Structure 1
Amino acid sequence: MAPLVHLVRHAEGEHNKGGDAYFIRDPGLTERGLEECRNLSERFPYHSSIDLIVSSPLRRALHTALFSFQPAIARGIKIVALPELQETSDIVCDEGSEKSDLEREFADAKGPSGENVVDLGLLYEGWWVKKGKYAPTSSALIARARLARQWLRGLPAEEIAVVGHGGAFHYLTEDWTGIGNTEHASSWQNTEFRTYRFVDDTENATMVETDESRAMRGEAGRILSSEEQHSLYLKVMQFWENRGFQNPLKKEVQFKEQDRRLTT
């Protein structure tokens, strides 16, 4: 049976201050972010039932996982860094760190038996470079999110916590509701968590938020159809472009034009 998945957005990072902070590479958490982790740890009700913690390899997500899930970590639960969960844009704050640097940073994070808590085994040289599979284009982001869903669905676990990013979570869940109602690029708030279940065994590995999760956040209305979500997705792309956020559709055209020039 596919696992139940609790998606958790990271706590406040240094880049969330805006302005020049967006040019901090792989920023860590702020003091407020650390406090958000403490609050998340207190209100997260699934510490005793999760079998695994999966995280984006960006530092703000790994630190959120490490500081927020200590009750589970104390039981011997590990954090696995999955590169497919990294954030979607190619701005500096969404560039990751070298694996060797992360290994040094998290070397002292130990479990109850002295084992390393943070598993970086899936990372490789240049995992954070936004090209190929990780390019900030519409087709690449959709395909990457599908790979992440497939990987999560195949885990031999009953219940997992996944720490990541607002933009990436919209692609992962294929849910584009709530964007555009505020000045933010995502409807996910810092350390917000929502629970999802897999609803099919097809290649797409579709995830749907549980009724209980939707009710907890006041979204108990009708679930949009795939056609309605696609229409909303196109509107979100336009909103992101208008607000100066990432614009994967335009980038896709630019990448294709570059490829055409190289091959003609």
Structure 2
Amino acid sequence: MPTIYIHLVRHAQGWHNLSKENEAMRDPDLTPFGRDQCAQLARSFPHHDRVTHLVASPMRRTLYTCLLSFEPVLNNNKERKVVALPDVQEISPLPCDTGSPVEALAAEFSGGGGGAGAVDLGLLTPEWNDKSDGSVYAPRMDRLEARARRARAWLRELGREFIAASQEGRGGGVDAHIVVVTHGGFLHFLTQDWDGMNPAQGTGWVNTEWRSYEFVGGEEDEEARLRETGASWRRRRGSEVALTETEQMELRIAMKGRLEEEWGA
């Protein structure tokens, strides 16, 4: 039976990563070092020839990370585009974590700009970058968990549709390999894994780190839960033992406390 693999990537270094003051920058670009990180990821990522879909947060730093790091994938198929998925945008309402208007992104990424037309912005609405309290993207624990669930279900359906189509054309079908470039804070919600979480830094992922996941349950799993593959865990952690459920819960509670303290969530 073909498998859906989700390769999750944290974006490369952005200007906001350099200092607290830079967090006042609206939707910042990558630094030169961040672009070097993308080049290194492009060289080291071992699954370019297997990637079936590219998905990214609509923030500029994630879009550029995906375009630069997975350029080999785009070069192999000129019809493929990076799908901008608003549900995987970053958590906070800070300027650096607030996206650009759709028309600005369209000018930059869809009309021969930095993305050379390789970005699909079709899922974005004018409200996609609204982080106010009434928005589905507000930094509140229940809404963050809800959009992480929506994103997982969307990715699962994307993989299922690809596998079904491949089975029609190839008999047994082929695996789906979906790359998702997103943000350090949101990755913990998306994976429901708080291992390594540093509340002061907001994440346990480093820039351009990637990990691979599979879906745990079947169609009846409303959470569409993910589990890191054994190969991905061993590459990162060797023989280390994963956190217990209690330890995971303690870190989740710490994140909830941080959200409440900083943004009244």
TM bucket (normalised to shorter chain) is: 0.7 to 0.9
How far apart, CA to CA, are the structure 1 residues paired with 2:261 and 2:187? 15
How far apart, CA to CA, are the structure 1 residues paired with 2:238 and 2:142? 29
Which of 221, 239, 244 in structure 1 is aligned with 2:240? 221
- Tell me if structure 2 keeps the 8 A contact 1:80–1:120: yes
Aligned to 1:82: 85
Displacement of 1:223? 3.3
TM-score by length of 1: 0.85
- SS in structure 2 at match of 1:5: strand
- SS in structure 1 at match of 2:178: strand
Identity of aligned residues (%): 41
TM-score by length of 2: 0.85
Displacement of 1:225? 4.6
Distance 1:248 1:208, change over 3 A: farther
- Aligned-residue CA RMSD in angstroms? 2.1
- CA deviation vs aligned residue, 1:167-223 (integer Å, no higher than 9, x gap): 00000000111123x952211000000000001131100000011101111154333
- CA deviation vs aligned residue, 1:132-165 (integer Å, no higher than 9, x gap): 2101001110111000000001103411100000
- SS in structure 2 at match of 1:26: coil
Matches within 5 A, 1:174-189: 174-180=192-198, 184-189=201-206
Which of 198, 219, 224 in structure 1 is aligned with 2:215? 198
How far apart, CA to CA, are the structure 2 residues paired with 1:217 and 1:32? 23
Aligned to 1:128: 129
How far apart, CA to CA, are the structure 1 residues paired with 2:149 and 2:213? 15
- Tell me if structure 1 keeps the 8 A contact 2:197–2:251: no
Distance 1:43 1:109, change over 3 A: farther
- Tell me if structure 2 keeps the 8 A contact 1:57–1:83: yes
Aligned AA for 2:140?
T
How far apart, CA to CA, are the structure 2 residues paired with 1:19 and 1:149? 31
Structure 1: 5+ residue runs without aligned partners?
253-264
Distance 1:105 1:249, change over 3 A: closer
- SS in structure 2 at match of 1:163: strand
Aligned to 1:98: 101
Aligned AA for 1:168?
F
How far apart, CA to CA, are the structure 2 residues paired with 1:160 and 1:23? 32
Matches within 5 A, 1:1-264: 3-76=4-77, 77-106=80-109, 107-108=111-112, 116-131=117-132, 132-155=135-158, 156-157=161-162, 158-180=176-198, 184-201=201-218, 202-218=221-237, 220-238=239-257, 241=258, 246-247=259-260, 251-252=264-265
- Tell me if structure 2 keeps the 8 A contact 1:138–1:249: no
How far apart, CA to CA, are the structure 2 residues paired with 1:225 and 1:136? 26
How far apart, CA to CA, are the structure 2 residues paired with 1:232 and 1:64? 28
How far apart, CA to CA, are the structure 2 residues paired with 1:250 and 1:25? 18
Distance 1:53 1:220, change over 3 A: farther
Displacement of 1:248? 7.2
How far apart, CA to CA, are the structure 2 residues paired with 1:138 and 1:44? 33
Distance 1:248 1:48, change over 3 A: farther
Distance 1:57 1:217, change over 3 A: same
Aligned AA for 2:118?
V
How far apart, CA to CA, are the structure 2 residues paired with 1:195 and 1:72? 17
How far apart, CA to CA, are the structure 1 residues paired with 2:140 and 2:238? 29
Q: Which 10-residue stretch deviates more, 34-43 or 122-131?
A: 122-131
How far apart, CA to CA, are the structure 2 residues paired with 1:102 and 1:62? 10
Aligned AA for 1:179?
M
Structure 2: 5+ residue runs without aligned partners?
163-175
